[in-house]
Chain A
Amino acid sequence: EAEVAQSPRYKITEKSQAVAFWCDPISGHATLYWYRQILGQGPELLVQFQDESVVDDSQLPKDRFSAERLKGVDSTLKIQPAELGDSAMYLCASRPGTANEKLFFGSGTQLSVL
């Protein structure tokens, strides 16, 4: 069964460093999401893409976070500079594009900022 691929699986960095996460959605899925999940909380939407266009980035801290999906396929989320409070699981999800269909999540990238 097709899966959403994410890398790296774990990332440890020091504050003020730059980090980047990569996501490859299921083939043919037009909609791609990046969520952040702090331990004990639910996933919080950071950014949503429809093909290569940003649909919603209202919760993305744009002073330090950036996201792109240049060819409408895979996507990269970057943090520069990282802060202690950025320690969390970063989840990528995709779906074909119909509004009410389920999301397919990757296994996430666990970020620890020291």
Chain B
Amino acid sequence: SQKIEQNSEALNIQEGKTATLTCNYTNYSPAYLQWYRQDPGRGPVFLLLIRENEKEKRKERLKVTFDTTLKQSLFHITASQPADSATYLCALGGDYKLSFGAGTTVTVRA
């Protein structure tokens, strides 16, 4: 069956450092991958989309890579700030469907 796995442990980092989150998947051939941010008690908010034929996407301090051979996406937050503290979800899409991982909680210490 399809499986999406994100860092099982929460990530605690110092302000200014780079946070790197992992999204691995099995039994899946997604056409695209998305990353969302979710704050406690709120709905997810879209951050980035990367397609299967793209290797890397950037948006401000965010960078996403997509390796369809390794079946893995990496999500980087550079120069992290306390305001970046949240849960980050990866989502794999194909056709009309979007399936989510469990998320990784990031805490940035000042």
**Cβ-defined contact, A103 with B89, below 8 A:** no
Distance to closest chain A CB from B4 (angstroms): 8
Given A45-B98, A105-B44, residue A99 in contact with residue B103 (CB < 8 A): no
CB closest residue in chain A, given B102: A42
Mark interface residues in B75-110 (1 if CB within 8 Å of A CB, else 0): 000000000000001010101111111110000000
**Cβ-defined contact, B102 with A99, below 8 A:** no
* Residues on the A chain within 8 Å of B89, using CB: 42-43
Segment from A61-69, A72-80, A106-114 that makes contact with B:
A106-114
**Cβ-defined contact, B41 with A110, below 8 A:** yes
**Cβ-defined contact, B32 with A100, below 8 A:** yes
Given A43-B44, A105-B43, A105-B44, residue A99 in contact with residue B93 (CB < 8 A): yes
In the assembled complex, the Cα of A11 lies from the Cα of B100 at a distance in Å of 24
**Cβ-defined contact, B31 with A100, below 8 A:** yes
Mark interface residues in A31-47 (1 if CB within 8 Å of B CB, else 0): 10101000011111100
Count residues of chain A with CB under 8 A from any CB of chain B: 28
Count residues of chain B with CB under 8 A from any CB of chain A: 25
**Cβ-defined contact, B97 with A105, below 8 A:** no
In the assembled complex, the Cα of A40 lies from the Cα of B103 at a distance in Å of 8
Segment from B13-21, B45-53, B57-65, B66-74 that makes contact with A:
B45-53
* Residues on the B chain within 8 Å of A110, using CB: 41
Q: Is A48 in contact with chain B by the CB < 8 A criterion?
A: yes
In the assembled complex, the Cα of A55 lies from the Cα of B51 at a distance in Å of 23
* Residues on the B chain within 8 Å of A33, using CB: 98
In the assembled complex, the Cα of A107 lies from the Cα of B39 at a distance in Å of 10
* Residues on the B chain within 8 Å of A48, using CB: 96-97
* Residues on the A chain within 8 Å of B31, using CB: 99-100
* Residues on the B chain within 8 Å of A100, using CB: 31-32, 49, 51, 93
In the assembled complex, the Cα of A35 lies from the Cα of B89 at a distance in Å of 14
A-side interface residues toward B, CB under 8 Å? Answer: 4, 31, 33, 35, 40-45, 48, 50, 55-56, 89, 91, 93, 99-108, 110
